[in-house]
Amino acid sequence: MKETEELLKQIEQDIKNNLTPKRYEHSIRVMKRAEELAKKYNVDVKKAKIVGLAHDIAKDMSKEQKLAYVEENQIETDEIERINIELLHGKIGADICKKRYDFPDDMQKAILYHTLGNPNMDELAKIIFIADKTEEDRTYVDFEKLKEAEKNGLNSLMIYVLDMSIKYTIYKGKIIHPDSIYTRNYFLIHNTDI
At 154-188, the pLDDT tens digits run 999 999 999 999 999 999 999 999 999 999 999 99
Query: Hey, which of 2-16, 113-127, 150-164 has the most confident mean pLDDT?
Result: 113-127
Q: How confident is the model at residue 2 (pLDDT cuts 50, 70, 90)?
A: low
Quote the percentage of the chain above a pLDDT of 90.
86
- Quote the pLDDT of residue 25: 97
**Residues contacting 190, CB < 8 A, separation 6+:** 155
Tell me the percentage of the chain whose pLDDT exceeds 70.
98
pLDDT reported for residue 194: 62
pLDDT digits (tens, 9 = 90+) for 92-115: 999 999 999 999 999 999 999 999
10 Å CB burial of residue 143 (0-12, 13-18, 19+) is exposed
Q: Are 71 and 87 in contact (CB under 8 A)?
A: no
Residue 104 identity (one-letter amino acid): P
pTM of the model: 0.95
Q: Which domains does the chain have, with CATH numbers?
A: 4-189 (1.10.3210.10)
Q: Which candidate, 169, 154, 137, places its Cα nearest to that of 43?
A: 154
Identify the CA nearest to 194 among candidates 162, 161, 159, 163.
159
For 68-81, the pLDDT digits (tens) are: 999 999 999 999 99
Residues 123, 43 contacting (CB under 8 angstroms): yes
Average the pLDDT over 109-130 and give the result.
Answer: 97
Would you say 57 and 15 are in contact if contact means Cβ atoms under 8 Å apart?
yes
**Per-residue pLDDT at 144:** 86
Q: Cα–Cα distances in Å, from 101 out to 2, 9, 11, 12, 131? A: 8, 12, 8, 12, 21
